[in-house]
Structure 1
């Protein structure tokens, strides 16, 4: 079968397109004929060796896929041949990736594609949407009526955090380019701030003098101390990317004397139980047209090396989906 794989970690030019053996399935696995895969920044971290994880070479790249079940292991109970399924946790921790014509997936890491939802749109959405759901529910433990500031809210992850926070009844404020204000308000942002403003932190604090319950920076362009300053008593900063200047300088006293906290999260460390619970929320939302990428670019899977290279140079703005069919 055709696949995109590497023989060692390194630059994007390490990705090869070629023939590798068909995967074999264990009793608790399903064999999936892949329709499409999405490409995420984290895929470049794994491929380059920047994110240290167990892998066996040749290593198929990619983690998120959607496809049709071709066959099932003896212990699989919840699926049948022909079912459309998605997965978003392959390609790390010793599991082979998904950019191949066929993949073997543990039943516990496969989820049904909701009826009448475009499978490509699903796979374009699952990485950022699952990140938002697990971050808010399991890491920050947000509650209705609380307040959150989402910085860089117009991006793939940012708008999912905004949308899901609004669904949960939080008071949401956002920072973005002014051209995105109207779209963000439709997703649930009650107040929008221009992230170009040199006095942005002061303006936000003038508006929210008691501070937010939560601040999440999706851009990596904000100093950690600024975000600590913008949370109130018992507030939390959610880190899903490295803060500006690495976050090395901040006032520890201000942090602990106000019972504030910093909580980091990457979806690669989410448990299978967290992913399964998130999948239920995602599928319920997808059926209602929520938490979905509204636009994405669909390309042939053999373009994967070019997409990896462009991602690493910040040249990809639209979500990219690679197809086999």
Structure 2
């Protein structure tokens, strides 16, 4: 089994946090989004992962590439890096990894996290993960027949088709078939919204009689902007606590301070006269003094004092001293 992860976008809706680090490498509950994503997929599939191919922008740099390869290696897989330097769509991004497009594979876009537990349908040519939503008109949705097979993909339907939204994770029994169809999409310049789309390759597969079925997830968590990323951090902390995961590193130093779970507290964090939690992630080597923090996501090596934070997101190596609450400041920022 292979996992293909298109992640070349810079994540403009999550700025300033993505000015210095690609969105999929921003930690949520102490671990990069893309790391959690591939771990969750590997857990759902319950199969050995042969290769994880990451499609990135060349400007991400060698350090990011090394981190991604290391993520794959932790799962016992080969890590491969491909480049998409032009924003030409989902279909184009997948084709940038064409040398890895063979055999069974999952394609997953790296701005979403899932919780799921099910077996793949051995009779299906493809599985498209979906989640029931309250406002399907805001999403791409699937249309099913009486046999629970996907017969149509509809983008933001004005009239009700279904309430099962496509979440951006796909399984293909042989991803080479998708590669061949996407090659035709590109050769014939089939463009929607100015881009080459994965849906056009999928629709051609459906037209040839291939069987697509839905795979429904229990939880679907977005990391598209600051507010939903903070919310996803809170939800993930709750899931990890219920799973019995130890989220507080033993090196944490507490002085007249309280941690209200669930919280992720990294290595060498110092808390002085502070209350942290619930639903807070504090990265390694953070220093918090005279503060109350809840429902917030703070990265590594940041110093927080005299703060009352709620729904806040703070980057790496930042310094915050103030009377603000709902804030979003990026790496190396100073607000005093």
| TM-score, normalised by the number of residues in structure 1 | 0.32
Pick the structure with more helix per residue: 1
**Which structure carries more strand by proportion?**
2
Query: What TM-score does the superposition give when structure 2 sets the normalisation length?
Result: 0.31
Give the structure, 1 or 2, with the largest relative contact order (CA under 8 Å, sep 6 or more).
Answer: 1
